[in-house]
Each structure stands twice: as structure tokens, then as C-alpha cells.
Amino acid sequence: MKKIFIATALMAVVYLNADAQSIGTIKLQNTIPVSATDTKATIIAKAAHVVPTSNQLSALKNEFIAFIHFGPNTFTRMEWGSGKEDPKVFDLKELHTDQWCQSMKAAGMKMVIITVKHHDGFVLWQSRYTTHGIMSTGFENGKGDILKELSASCKKYGLKLGIYLSPADLFQIESPTGLYGNLSKATKRSIPRQVSGRPFANKTKFEFEVDDYNEYFLNQLFEVLTEYGQVDEVWFDGATPKTKGGQQYNYASWKKLIHTLAPKAVIFGKEDIRWCGNEAGATRNTEWNVIPYIQNPNTANNFADLTEASLGSREDLYKGKYLHYQQAETNTSIREGWFYRDDDKQKVRSTDDVFDIYERAVGGNSTFLLNIPPNREGKFSPEDVKVLTEVGKRINETYGKNLFTGAKGPAQVLDKSLNTYLLLAKPEKSIEITTGKPVTINRIVLQEAITSHGERVEQHTLEAWIDGKWQEIASATNIGYKRILRFPEVTASKFRLKVLSSRAAPAIATIEAHYYHTKPSQLQFDRDVNGLLTISPKTHEFGWNPHGQNATENLGKGVEIYYTTDGTEPTAASKKYTGPVSIAKGEIKAIAIAHKDKGSIATETFGLIKKDWKLLTVSSETDKNKGAMAFDAKKQTYWLSEANDSKLQIAIDLGAAHNLSAFVYTPPKSFLDGMMEKGIIQISNDGKNWETVESFEFGNLINDPTARTHYFKKAVTARYVQVQATTIAGNKKALAIAELDFLER
């Protein structure tokens, strides 16, 4: 150990020694405490010995899993319910869980997590402890049980099952006899509470000192974990649309119950799995799963959302008192929003988009959790099924065939097993692989032996022997469970992986090579205030460059963009895009085509052109964030009111009277403290006398700050419009609007 304390300049040497000597002294553990006397080098050596539990490893191996958001919101078209819904709004006539499972299987998913209770408190199973749920609906005369049907389909199709049970419960908050925040005392309670006529087959009993709401929650956990087969993940959402009575959650008792009844389950939102930090499918370029903690994560009650860009770098680790393995789950929805709304008003992600997130998430040391919201017929909609099927096919075609099969190199890395590995203890730290014949590849998959050695690689490059010399073809930072390197295709027969820096001698378990049939770019639209539209290849807000996708530089050189404005699908016979075009309001669809190979269709509905719009009044504005920025056609700029503004309203002169059918609110992504959760729309034809025409409500804006559309019940004609916020998300006070748009029929 001595060498660890000296010579920080000789990093590589120090780490090798640290590894060689520490195997005996630092035990592989899921959590390793840092002591006050630890040097930086010791902290890093410790981090290199933090490993996943066997449940965490199984969860990582799932790679691609499904989320189901289903409930009253599916029928009310809301993102967040209120808890005051009549259960009968859940007007389900049919349920097709086999169809869900078939589609998930086709996509290559391994598990499904269902919202058995979302924030509205409505339960999808036959709970003994509430009537606010499926038992009070017409579905199968109140006898239906969605969890039961899904669990049966999961068994049939070989899928694992996970449970989302929302701790926030608006029904229990809002109803007069509700248990949430009712100020009850914590006393000894037996779980499960027996209900006459409905005995449990599972005879396990618990005693916890908890209040009424925690007792209710534990009883429900008992039901879902004992009566529906094996549960592999329990998902605790951190969102709290509303609180009451200072309600606390007694997580220690929940954990005890889960560990006893579902010993294979990982717990999301707590010590096992963390949220990736966004709901848009963003991934970090460097996603470390060894994370520093100030409090011991094994005894902590509350876990903060970790949204920072960097979580487990050396500098981050130095600040920790515990180093803990906690993997990221990249969660997003295949549709705009988590719940189904309408096939014609709710965009579905393209196959290209989902496949791209798959590669970034799974190939970026996390698990990809994709939500597919069933529709009001109890089915996945055809468009969603199509995308899932195509994604599965693409994953299979790309990753089902390893082009290093039969190649020469260390057997431990070529045998596809995570259990065998090559420990790179030599200073050069490289691995060479030679194929019999030259291969053309554009993807490399790397895995570290994380259970026997932890995450160690910090920087690596991949080289190919081209024109008589080694040439770098890709480089990245960490590897961990899995890293997918994406790069423009190369043809060679000699490849070399070089580890440039690591936290200890890295143990490389797998190196595979693949070829992806590259598609023409996904496209994005940008329309300025004058209505001039630019179509360009989609850029990623989130760093990872989609190497090898035919980008703008290829436009005109084999790649063309075509578009339509009449709602029809664009083809090579449609209008060719050659540069910015003026388009009026309405729907635009565009596609990139390269040598007859078609990209995915991008669709966007544009509202009125804002050229003639004028700010009529604004209740307040701040220095850099003026009222007019709410309609300057630039999503990066935004209007921000003052914090003590009691009106929170903005009135706009549209320049002429229009027949308005909807309005779109785009919140600023860079400022999450001014989200318009609720409000009203007023219209006027003289700019003085206002008539309220609609009220609106947008849920889940802080976690998912995406554009929201409110469709008017009836179209209205007006020249002047006024938007007034009545509630700002998260009890904040100021209002922020990046863009307002109005759709005309």
C-alpha cells in the first residue's frame, strides 16, 4: 500500500501497484466507506473495487426493458391526474396484455414495469385496502385485475415483471378520509392487515412502527409482491405533485418488506438503481455507476435526484464518504408524454430515434427503460408496435452477429462471456485482435469484468491497421458494464484496443465487432419568426455524436431531403429541399433519402407565423428575459416574470384575427423554476375586453420540460390573446415561457 501514498505524478504506476497490492486489502463490495485519512489514490483504488450486487448485475443484463403507464390519465388525456377522478373514467372494455408482451418480446426487451398505482392513487389490481381503482370500474364488472393479466402474459412470453407503486398518492391526499398526511401517529402495525374473506396464501408477517399512510403503502406492497409471481424491480418515483401534513415515507420498513418478499428485486429511486436525470432519452458521455455518497446509501431514507452532468469522476469521488455502486436507468417514452392521448395528436418516436437511444443507453453503461403507453382499447397502438418490431429487428441484425467470431486474440475477451476476462496489468495495456479476412465494421462493443474487478477504464481508444499503420478509429472514456463505440465504417483485419488511463488494472471481459447498416439522418426543423423553415440533420443535445450517420455535408452528394406540406408521406417524388423555404402554418413532413435508402420521417405542426405579433401587455419582465421573448421563435430565449408578480400574464396582438384551435407552451429547458402548470386563455377583439375561453393543465413539467399542446374544446376567432398562469410547478412563483404558439384550423 505504501506506494499509493507517494508519487501522484506517476499515476499509471501507482494504480498498477494499488491494484496488485490492494486485491488482498480492499475487499470487493457494493459500498465502500471512505475514511478521513484516505489519500486521493486510496479513494480511487477503493472506487475500483466497488461492484454491483447480483440483483444489480441481473438488472444490467436485462439491458432493454419496458415501462407501461396506464390508468385514468389514459382516458382523461392528462399527464398527472388529480386524485379526484371518478374511477369510472377508466372506461376499459378490453385488455390485450398478450399483445403488449408480444411487441415487447419482438423489441428484445426482457422485463416490463407497470404503474400499478400512479400519482392519482388509482390501483390497477384488486387491492383489499382501497376502492379507488379497477374494482370500482365497469371493467369485467369490477372484477378485472390488470396486474394479474399482465403477470400471466409475462409468464407466457418469458418476460420479467416490475412494479411501479407511486409513493405520492393524490387520492389519499384529497379524499376527506385519506390517509396521506393525516397526522396519524407511528404505532406498531402488523403487515399485512387481514381482511375477512380474503386470506393471503403467503403467511409472512411483519411488525413495523409506522403511521397510517405507511401502513397502507406496506399493505399494498405486500399484495403486489406476494400474489402476482416473482417481481424483479420495484420502482419508486420521486415526483410529488402535492404534499400534505408533512407526510414522511418510512423507507426502512418498505425495504425490509421488499427484501423479504421479493429477494430478487432491485429497487429503483433508492440504493440499487438511480434515475438518469432526465426523461428525454439523454445520456451522459461518461456514465460511472460508482457514485460518491455523503450519507450511507444502505441506511438512507431519502435519495436526491442526481441530475448533474458528472457524477463519478475522480473529483466527484474525492468528495464522498461512501463509494457505492448504483446504476443508471435511462427512461423515456416512445410517445410524447407518459400516458396515451391520441394517435393523431401524440408523436411517436421513430425507429431511428429509439435505436439511437438504445445504443447510447445500453452502450453507455445504463439500462434502457422505454415506456409504451397502452391506448383506450387496452392495446399498444399500431405505430408503436411497428417501431418496437423494427427496433428489435435492427438490434438483432446489428448486434446478433459478432464479426470477431473466429478471430485471433485473447480467448477470454473473444468468448462472449462476462466471467472470463483479460487483466491488463502490463504497462502498454492493449489488446490486439486479428481477423482471418478483412472485416467491415462500424460498431465495437466492450465490457469490463465489473463483478470481479469493478469499473476501472477511464479512457480508451480503438485503432485499426489501415495502410500499413495503426490509425485511431474511435475513442471514449469509461466502459463499465458495456460501451458501444460508434464510428464511420472501416475495413481492416487488425484492431487494437488501448486503455489510456484506468483506476486500477482493467479487466476486459468482452470485445465484439459489429456492422450497422447506417440510415440516412434523422431530421429536425427550425422555423424563424418570418416563417422561414430550415430542415437539417438532427443534432443531439446530449453530446454523443451519431458518427457515421449521413450528415449535412453529404446533402446533394448522394443524400437528399424531400418534404410535403399536405400531410402525405414524403418520397423521392416530393419537393426537394435545397435551402430554407417559407412555409405557412400546418403540418410538414420530411425525409432524407440516400441511394434509395430512406431515413425516418420527421413531422412537425407549425402554428401561426409570428412576424406580425406584438406584445400588448406583460404583467412584469426581468432584465434579460423580456416579454417579447415568449414569441421570438427562439426556444433558447425566454420571458421570465418577476417573482412577486401576482398576475403572471402576457397579452399578444396577433396582427389579425385568426381561427385558433390550440396553443402550445414551450418551457425553457435551461430554467426549471417557472413552469406553467395551470392557467387560463383569454381572447379579445379589441385588446381591452377579455373573455376567458379555456383553462389548461400540464403535468410533470419539471422532470419533462417538453412542449405541451392544449387543444381548445371549440375553435375561437380572435386577434388578441392573453395567457395567464394560475399555478407554477413545484410551488414556484415566477413564470417562464420560451415560446407560445397558436395553431389555426
Nearer to ligand FUL, 269 or 537 (CB): 269
Shortest Å, Cβ 237 to ligand FUL: 5
Nearest residue by C-beta to ligand FUL?
Answer: 239
Nearer to ligand FUL, 126 or 703 (CB): 703
# residues near ligand FUL by CB under 6 A:
6
Nearest CA-CA partner of 90 in 336, 380, 339: 339
Shortest Å, Cβ 605 to ligand FUL: 24
Shortest Å, Cβ 303 to ligand FUL: 13
Q: Which of 98, 227, 237, 432 binds ligand FUL (CB under 6 A)?
A: 237
Which cell is 615 given?
Answer: 406584445
Residues 22-81 that bind ligand FUL (CB under 6 A): none
Nearer to ligand FUL, 55 or 700 (CB): 700
Helix axes 146-157, 97-107, angle to 10 degrees: 40
Tell me the residue ranges of DSSP E strands in 166-245.
187-191, 206-210, 233-235
Write each residue from 651 to 690 as x if it is in contact with ligand FUL (CB under 6 A), else as -, in one continuous string.
----------------------------------------
| CA–CA gap between residue 514 and residue 482 (Å, rounded) | 14
Nearer to ligand FUL, 251 or 275 (CB): 275
Nearer to ligand FUL, 237 or 432 (CB): 237
b/e sequence 45-72, b meaning 16+ C-beta within 10 Å: bbbbbbbbbebbbbbbebbbbbbbbbbb
Shortest Å, Cβ 304 to ligand FUL: 14
Shortest Å, Cβ 162 to ligand FUL: 12
Nearer to ligand FUL, 38 or 673 (CB): 673
Through-space distance between the first and last CA atoms of the chain, rounded to whole angstroms: 73
Nearer to ligand FUL, 276 or 490 (CB): 276
| CA–CA gap between residue 243 and residue 379 (Å, rounded) | 33
Q: Which of 703, 709, 722, 724 binds ligand FUL (CB under 6 A)?
A: 703
The 3-state DSSP class for residue 62 equals: helix
Shortest Å, Cβ 329 to ligand FUL: 10
- Residue spans of alpha helices (H) in 346-381: 351-362
Q: Which of 18, 48, 239, 317 binds ligand FUL (CB under 6 A)?
A: 239
CA separation (Å) from 433 to 156, 399, 492? Answer: 41, 18, 11
DSSP state of 139: G
Instruction: Decide if residue 700 touches ligand FUL (CB under 6 A).
Output: yes
Nearest CA-CA partner of 705 in 283, 280, 73, 238: 280
Nearer to ligand FUL, 119 or 486 (CB): 119
Which cell is 364 given?
Answer: 453507455
Instruction: Decide if residue 130 touches ligand FUL (CB under 6 A).
Output: no
Shortest Å, Cβ 703 to ligand FUL: 5
- Name the β-bridge partners of 248: none
Query: CA-CA-CA-CA torsion for 566, 539, 103, 416, nearest 10 degrees?
Result: 150
Nearer to ligand FUL, 238 or 548 (CB): 238
Q: Check if the beta carbon of residue 563 is closer than 8 Å to that of residue 590.
A: yes
Instruction: Decide if residue 370 touches ligand FUL (CB under 6 A).
Output: no
- Name the β-bridge partners of 665: 708, 740
Nearest CA-CA partner of 723 in 671, 673, 666: 666
Nearer to ligand FUL, 169 or 448 (CB): 169
Shortest Å, Cβ 471 to ligand FUL: 43
Phi-psi region of 711 (alpha: psi -120 to 50; beta: other; left: phi over 0): beta
Q: Which of 15, 139, 268, 338 binds ligand FUL (CB under 6 A)?
A: 338
Shortest Å, Cβ 633 to ligand FUL: 29
- Residue spans of alpha helices (H) in 232-319: 251-261, 314-318
Residue tagged 399500431 (cell numbers): 382
Shortest Å, Cβ 120 to ligand FUL: 10
Q: Check if the beta carbon of residue 586 is closer than 8 Å to that of residue 525.
A: no
Nearer to ligand FUL, 275 or 421 (CB): 275
Residues 415-434 that bind ligand FUL (CB under 6 A): none
Residues 516-575 that bind ligand FUL (CB under 6 A): none
The angle formed by the CA atoms of residues 472, 470 and 517, to the nearest 5 degrees, is 55
Nearer to ligand FUL, 244 or 386 (CB): 244
Shortest Å, Cβ 417 to ligand FUL: 34
DSSP H or E run through 16: helix 11-25
Shortest Å, Cβ 504 to ligand FUL: 36
Nearer to ligand FUL, 219 or 331 (CB): 331
| Amino acid identity for residue 607 in this structure | G
Nearer to ligand FUL, 232 or 352 (CB): 232
Give the pairing type, strands 639-640 and 736-737.
Answer: antiparallel
Shortest Å, Cβ 700 to ligand FUL: 4
Shortest Å, Cβ 265 to ligand FUL: 18
| Amino acid identity for residue 218 in this structure | L
Give the pairing type, strands 708-728 and 649-666.
Answer: antiparallel
DSSP H or E run through 76: helix 72-76
Residue tagged 416512445 (cell numbers): 334
Which cell is 611 given?
Answer: 412576424
Nearer to ligand FUL, 268 or 690 (CB): 268
Shortest Å, Cβ 226 to ligand FUL: 24
DSSP H or E run through 19: helix 11-25
The footprint of ligand FUL (CB under 6 A) covers 237, 239, 331, 338, 700, 703
